[in-house]
């Protein structure tokens, strides 16, 4: 019994029985109490430790339930054979761990993927959450429609028709937890026996996803009008992944003639499809929004995808996919058994957010906010006379700066020395064109400057520092 020299701490927040349990467990794990060794009786140990017998019994019961000890009738408690017991190793604390190297901290971050979360309508969202949960609705907590709740799909369909010119019925819409999930679902529907062509440069997340989903993937050259159809034909791809309303990252808007050529390519052979990613079409600051490619599709060839991550908040994790009717039939046949990945509560909140006009008001407010920052950044770049040309303006949430006399890596490094994080276009080039793009970058460096999550004052301060860094 003297081997169990347990030092209890009566003032600790940890109950006494847990302290006894932890001490004995550690001694067993570390071999100080051997297998087969008899533990003191509960009566002996409670007297020795000057605690109640029930406290010791609780500790022994916990050890017994976890398999560290065995109770033998009329004999007492004995240590089990612990060689085969699973044991989590405690993390080793490294001295001075808090001083380990941290990631570079920047005063200003021109991320092109930014979203202004301060403009998120917290009060409205909180109000709709209370209303949605206010009634005693047990149905909200049952599994819902695999495609998403019909009310939300109707609201999305109505919005897409009015704002984007998309022609669809609620039955064609699938709601899911982000576009990554929806593309994986699409893979389950149509299979991987396809070759996917993407623009280059492109949205790298989509490229990686298609590669990991075991598609054959290729990249296709672009010109000032978007994906080159002649190159697409040469690629032998049967799926084209495009962003015609605002290509990422170049900001190119595909004109109507090129759109018709792309649709004609898809119509020429059965099994060809276009995936239209309409990721940030809401943010256009000059003229009317560009209609979606899907609205021109009369042969059921366009698979349309969109998301609320850019227009509301990334954490909403809600996207949607509009399937052509032939693919919808495949979905019904093969995938209707898959449950929705978005809770019914969240779907109801978003449905009311759209139907009650809050989404439209939020978009108008956010569009005005981003336009102000877009204009501020453009004016600052012109006033400071940074030696570059600018493209990608009037839409989206980033600009592109083109430099003919400096390398991309040098521009990024000099900005970092001033506490500013900027992004190079080379990050978005993928596939077989890598060596060619290396040569192109020697002729012209391109830097992306996002402005969505930077206020006007910070933009002004950062551009002045960039001017000094790049002189």
pLDDT tens per residue across span 63-95: 999 888 999 988 899 998 876 555 555 555 555
- Rounded CA-CA distance 223/237 in Å is 19
Nearest to 49 by CA among 61, 39, 34, 36: 39
Q: Taking the domains of the chain in order of start, what are their residue ranges?
A: 1-94, 108-114+364-469, 121-360
**Can you read off the two tokens belonging to residue 359?**
């989404």
Mean local confidence (pLDDT), 184-188 = 95
- The pLDDT of residue 326: 95
**Could you tell me the CA-to-CA distances from 116 to 112, 279, 366, 380, 452 in Å, in that order?**
12, 16, 8, 20, 6
- Rounded CA-CA distance 256/244 in Å is 10
Confidence tier at 330 by pLDDT (50, 70, 90): very high
Domain range 1-94, its CATH number among 3.40.50.2300, 3.30.200.20, 1.10.10.10, 1.10.10.60: 1.10.10.10
Higher-pLDDT residue of 306, 133: 306
- The pLDDT of residue 100: 46
DSSP strands (E only) in 195-329? 195-199, 216-220, 222-223, 226-227, 239-242, 273-277, 302-307, 319-322
In tens, the pLDDT along 196-232 reads 999 999 999 999 999 999 999 999 999 999 999 999 9
- Rounded CA-CA distance 317/339 in Å is 16
The fold of 108-114+364-469 is 3.90.1150
Q: Is the CATH number 3.30.1330.10 carried by domain 121-360?
A: no
Count of CB atoms within 10 A of residue 154's CB? 17
Mean local confidence (pLDDT), 165-182 = 94
- The pLDDT of residue 2: 44
- The pLDDT of residue 50: 87
pLDDT at 432 over 60: no
Q: Supply the pTM of this predicted model.
A: 0.78
């Amino acid at each position: 019994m003297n081997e169990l020299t347990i030092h209890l701490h009566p003032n600790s927040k940890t109950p006494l029985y847990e302290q006894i349990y932890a001490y004995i467990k550690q001694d067993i794990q570390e071999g100080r109490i051997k297998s087969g060794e008899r533990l003191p009786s509960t009566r002996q140990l409670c007297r020795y430790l000057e605690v109640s017998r029930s406290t010791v019994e609780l500790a022994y019961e916990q050890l017994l339930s976890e398999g560290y000890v065995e109770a033998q009738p009329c004999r007492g408690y004995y240590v089990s054979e612990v060689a085969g017991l699973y044991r989590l190793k405690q993390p080793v604390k490294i001295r001075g761990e808090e001083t380990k190297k941290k990631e570079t901290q920047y005063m200003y971050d021109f991320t092109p993927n930014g979203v202004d979360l301060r403009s998120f309508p917290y009060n409205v969202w909180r109000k709709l959450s209370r209303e949605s949960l206010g009634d005693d609705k047990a149905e909200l907590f049952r599994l819902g429609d695999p495609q998403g709740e019909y009310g939300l799909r109707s609201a999305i369909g109505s919005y897409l028709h009015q704002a984007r010119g998309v022609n669809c019925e609620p039955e064609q819409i699938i709601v899911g937890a982000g576009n990554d999930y929806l593309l994986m679902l699409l893979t389950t529907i149509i299979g991987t026996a396809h070759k996917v062509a993407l623009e280059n440069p492109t949205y790298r997340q989509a490229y990686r996803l298609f590669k990991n989903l075991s598609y054959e993937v290729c990249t296709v050259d672009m010109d000032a009008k978007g994906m080159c159809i002649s190159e697409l034909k040469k690629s032998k791809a049967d799926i084209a992944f495009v962003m015609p309303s605002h290509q990422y990252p170049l900001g190119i808007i595909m004109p109507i003639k090129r759109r018709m050529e792309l649709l004609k390519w898809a119509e020429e052979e059965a099994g060809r499809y276009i995936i239209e990613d309409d990721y940030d079409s809401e943010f256009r600051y000059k003229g009317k929004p560009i209609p979606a490619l899907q609205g021109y599709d009369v042969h059921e060839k366009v698979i349309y995808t969109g998301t609320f991550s850019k227009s509301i908040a990334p954490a909403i994790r809600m996207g949607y996919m509009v399937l052509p009717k032939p693919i919808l039939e495949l979905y019904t046949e093969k995938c209707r058994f898959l449950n929705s990945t978005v809770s019914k509560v969240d779907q109801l909140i978003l449905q009311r957010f759209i139907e009650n006009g809050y989404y439209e008001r939020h978009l108008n407010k956010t569009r005005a906010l981003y336009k102000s920052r877009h204009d501020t950044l453009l004016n600052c770049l012109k006033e400071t006379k940074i030696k570059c040309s600018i493209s990608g303006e009037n839409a989206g949430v980033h600009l592109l700066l083109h430099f003919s006399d400096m390398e991309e890596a040098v521009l990024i490094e000099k900005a970092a020395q001033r506490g500013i994080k900027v992004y190079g276009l080379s990050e978005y080039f993928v596939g077989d064109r890598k060596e060619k793009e290396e040569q192109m970058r020697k002729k012209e460096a391109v830097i992306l400057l996002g402005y969505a999550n930077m206020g006007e004052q910070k933009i002004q301060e950062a551009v002045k520092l960039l001017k000094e860094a790049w002189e």
